[in-house]
């Protein structure tokens, strides 16, 4: 179990840039009334609330203004329609939420789940916003931390289940930690969320120096395997890959074929990534669409694969397919947002920060976990 000191360190490492703390604390913890309360909180939950004075929708007690990013739109998978519906009917909806924790899934949660573009986790967040001390926050990250800690590292789930009994068990775990650590529920939630997100990218699927893997190609390129980071692809078929950034900010990606005997090396130059990033910023959501045969025929849709294809003229199929690994890396580094709710995998450039800096921040985060005492007792 994590010590109180480590819980505090995880809490302090929370991504307050993507999820501004004052917005949540004022509207949920303090219960501040606002006509667009649930619409703002829905945007907050989906990472669409940004600090800035342009088209401000909320001003906190310190006078800091917040706006909604371009991702907060009806055609994107953020549940905007439902969040606005909840805001417009917030008093009526709150009346249907049991103030005491029920033994069975409440009817209002069933109804919210059935709305188009909504789901179990967002429905639970609605209940939480009504009665935050009755319904703890619940998502893939806090659930992963919960399972990892309660199974001593044996369980590391990717998603949180749509299961009321499991949520009830999580609540018991959460309340026991609150009593043990004597801290605010919002602080504990931030700590578990940050820890669970870290665990997601710390999964050892298979190390690069596994006996089944020949290091031949790496040694020919003078790469030390210790210099590489391991991540894994998104979607249903999770596959490991390894990567590094060199001194010229080029991204080197290594992936293993099914035979397990070779690692293929692909280099995405920093100039190429600049071109891809520019195309990303000019669009809302971009599909992966890296089907090589369709690209050769000119029948594939516009997507990451076609961006690389057009920017380089490169007709090497494996080079185009590695956009899957690049997209996974850019997602965990918070450069792109991954949309798993629509048909097909899509991505959006959600930050205006230079991608090189975010990759370097992510490298520092992966290289120096001891600075935050991130180990588990």
pLDDT computed for residue 17 by the predictor: 82
Backbone φ and ψ for 58, nearest 5 degrees, come out as -155, 140
Look at residue 119 in the predicted model and tell me its pLDDT.
87
Tens of pLDDT along 162-209?
999 999 999 999 999 999 999 999 999 999 999 988 887 654 333 333
Cα 248 off chain centre by = 27
Q: What average pLDDT does range 260-264 have in this prediction?
A: 65
Angle made by CA atoms 327, 328, 329, in degrees to the nearest 5: 90
pLDDT, residue 351, reads: 60
More confident residue, 155 or 182: 182
pLDDT at 295 over 70: no
pLDDT digits (tens, 9 = 90+) for 12-68: 888 888 899 999 999 999 999 999 999 999 999 998 999 988 889 999 999 999 999
pLDDT at 242: 86
Q: Tens digit of pLDDT for each residue in 72-81?
A: 988 888 899 9
Cβ–Cβ < 8 Å for 335, 360? no
CA 301 to chain centre: 25
pLDDT confidence bin for 236, thresholds 50/70/90: low
Which of 52-56, 94-98, 254-258 shows the lowest per-residue confidence on average (mean pLDDT)?
A: 254-258
- CB-CB contact of 146 with 136 (8 Å): no
What 3 state SS string does 83-146 have? HHHHHHCHHHHHHCCCCCCCCCCCHHHHHHHCCCCCCHHHHHHHHHHHCCCCCCCCCHHHHHHH
Cβ-count burial of 229 within 10 angstroms (0-12 exposed, 13-18 middle, 19+ buried)? middle
Terminal-residue alpha carbon distance, the chain:
6
Average pLDDT, the chain: 82
Bridge partners (DSSP) of residue 50 are 67
Residues 294-319, mean pLDDT to the nearest whole number: 67
- How far apart CA 47 and CA 24 sit, in angstroms, is 12
pLDDT, position 227: 73
b/e 187-207 (16+ beta carbons within 10 angstroms → b) = bbbbbbbbbbbbbbbeeeeee
Band of residue 248 on the pLDDT scale cut at 50, 70, 90 = very high
Mark out the alpha helices in the chain (DSSP H runs): 4-12, 21-24, 37-45, 80-88, 90-95, 107-113, 120-130, 140-150, 164-181, 185-200, 216-220, 270-281, 292-297, 304-312, 317-321, 323-332, 355-367
Q: Mean per-residue pLDDT for 90-105?
A: 97
Residue 285: partners with Cβ closer than 8 Å, 6 or more residues away: 76, 339, 342, 346, 347, 348
Q: What is the per-residue pLDDT for 323?
A: 86
Q: What's the pLDDT at 221?
A: 43
Over pLDDT 70: what percentage of the chain? 80
Q: What is the pLDDT of residues 330-370, one digit of tens each?
A: 988 888 887 755 456 788 887 656 899 888 888 876 665 43
Sign of CA dihedral 187, 193, 195, 198: negative
Domains of the chain by residue range: 4-200, 216-372
pLDDT at 230: 77
Q: Which residue has the tokens 């370097």?
A: 360
Structure tokens at 318: 């494996």
């Amino acid at each position: 179990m994590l010590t109180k000191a480590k819980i505090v360190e995880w809490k302090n490492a929370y991504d307050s840039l993507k999820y501004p703390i004052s917005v949540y604390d004022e509207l949920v913890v303090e219960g501040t009334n606002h006509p667009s309360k649930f619409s703002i909180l829905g945007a907050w939950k989906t990472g669409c609330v940004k600090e800035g004075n342009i088209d401000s929708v909320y001003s906190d007690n310190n006078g800091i203004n917040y706006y909604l990013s371009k991702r907060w739109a009806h055609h994107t998978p953020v549940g905007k329609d439902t969040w606005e519906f909840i805001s417009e009917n917030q008093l009526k909806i709150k009346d249907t939420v049991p103030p005491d924790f029920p033994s069975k899934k409440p009817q209002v949660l069933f109804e919210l789940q059935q709305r188009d573009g909504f789901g179990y986790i967002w429905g639970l967040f609605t209940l939480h916003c009504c009665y935050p001390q009755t319904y703890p926050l619940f998502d893939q990250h806090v659930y992963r931390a919960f399972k990892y800690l309660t199974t001593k590292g044996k369980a590391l789930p990717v998603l949180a289940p749509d299961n009321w009994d499991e949520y009830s068990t999580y609540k018991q775990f959460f309340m026991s930690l609150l009593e043990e650590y004597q801290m605010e529920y919002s602080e504990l939630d931030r700590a578990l969320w940050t820890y669970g997100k870290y665990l997601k990218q710390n999964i050892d699927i298979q190390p690069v120096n596994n006996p089944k893997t020949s290091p031949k190609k790496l040694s020919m390129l003078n790469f030390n395997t210790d210099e590489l980071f391991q991540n894994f692809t998104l979607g249903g078929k999770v596959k490991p890959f390894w990567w590094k950034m060199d001194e010229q900010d080029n991204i080197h990606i290594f992936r293993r074929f099914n035979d397990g005997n070779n690692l293929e090396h692909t280099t995405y130059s920093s100039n190429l990534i600049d071109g891809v990033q520019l195309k990303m910023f000019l669009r809302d959501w971009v599909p992966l669409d890296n089907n090589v045969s369709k690209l050769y025929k000119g029948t594939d849709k516009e997507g990451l694969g076609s961006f690389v294809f057009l920017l380089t003229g490169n007709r090497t199929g494996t080079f185009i397919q590695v956009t899957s690994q690049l997209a996974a890396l850019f997602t965990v580094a918070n450069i792109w947002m991954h949309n798993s709710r629509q048909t097909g995998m899509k991505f959006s450039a959600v930050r205006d920060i230079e991608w090189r800096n975010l990759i370097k921040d992510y490298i520092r985060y992966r290289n120096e976990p001891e600075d935050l005492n991130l180990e588990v007792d």
